[in-house]
Amino acid sequence: MSQPNGGHAPALVLFDIDGTLVRRAGPHHREALMEAVRHVAGLDVTMEHIPVQGMLDGDILSWMLRDAGVEPKRIREWMPVLTRRAQWIYSRRCPADLSDKVCPGVVELLETLRQRRLLTGIVSGNLTQIGWKKMERAGLKRYFRYGCFADRGKTRAELVKLAVAEARAKAWISRRTPIALIGDHPNDIEAAKRNRVRSIAVATGVVSKEELAVHQPDLLVEDLRNLPMEFITA
């Protein structure tokens, strides 16, 4: 957060959601995407063969439709209503309490960041309302100033760029403020590198610590209980 006197936050920390902040949150997200396709396109689709980890929701919807033989032009035409419908469905089916799905060390880290008045944001492949609903039901939404979600960009790297630009435009941070992206997937590492921000990989998702190490993040931890604060603020 920005300082009481109007100064800049000492650091910006961006977080992925699935596998980083929460995990095994249930089938409701996938079901919302598939049902949106059934409602809008009248197609029964599946994502069992789609490597959804690390993907943006819009890309998952496009993949399902392509596999069903839908032309790219029609997919682009349908996408706005598909994303609205998916978010509407999820907001009504999300479990009332996801607090038991929060990854180890998350609450303690977020409390520390808040006490030190660091700026925290979300960068997620979830659609906006889906991502915020997860954070609300997990009891984590209050820790985050803002977020950049799948409906705002075409790639995860673009979402990071938008998040950093927004924080600078609103004078929450300066050009010299340290910035880190915490995620559980190689796509998060790549997005951080493309934006020249620190990449922190956490092995609480489906990707193993060994595989994450291959992509050479700036820091790799087993879970967020093992994250040294000096790496974020230095």
* Segment 125-149 mean pLDDT: 96
Which amino acid is it at 126?
Answer: N
pLDDT recorded at residue 4: 40
Strands of the sheet containing 179-183, edge to edge, are: 146-148, 119-123, 12-15, 179-183, 198-202, 219-221
Give the C-alpha separation, 180 to 233, whole Å.
9
Topology agreement, domain 12-24+99-233 and domain 28-93: no
Strands (DSSP E) contained in the chain are 12-15, 119-123, 146-148, 179-183, 198-202, 219-221
Per the confidence metrics, is the pTM higher than 0.85? yes
* Segment 117-136 mean pLDDT: 96
- Is the pLDDT assigned to residue 1 strictly greater than 70? no
Return the SS3 of 185: coil
Q: What is the pLDDT of residues 29-88, one digit of tens each?
A: 999 999 999 999 888 888 888 888 888 999 999 999 998 889 999 999 999 999 999 999
Give me the percent of the chain exceeding a pLDDT of 90: 81
Confidence of residue 5 (pLDDT cuts 50, 70, 90): very low
Would you list the DSSP string of 133-171?
HHHHHTT-GGG-SEEE-GGG-SSHHHHHHHHHHHHHHTT
Return the SS3 of 123: strand
Q: What is the pLDDT of residues 158-216, one digit of tens each?
A: 999 999 999 999 999 999 999 999 999 999 999 999 999 999 999 999 999 999 999 99
- Domain 12-24+99-233 matching CATH 3.40.50.1000: the answer reads yes
pLDDT recorded at residue 230: 85
Q: Tokens 């033989």 label which residue?
A: 69
Q: Tokens 């559980």 label which residue?
A: 184
Q: Where are the domains of the chain?
A: 12-24+99-233, 28-93
CATH top class, domain 28-93: mainly alpha
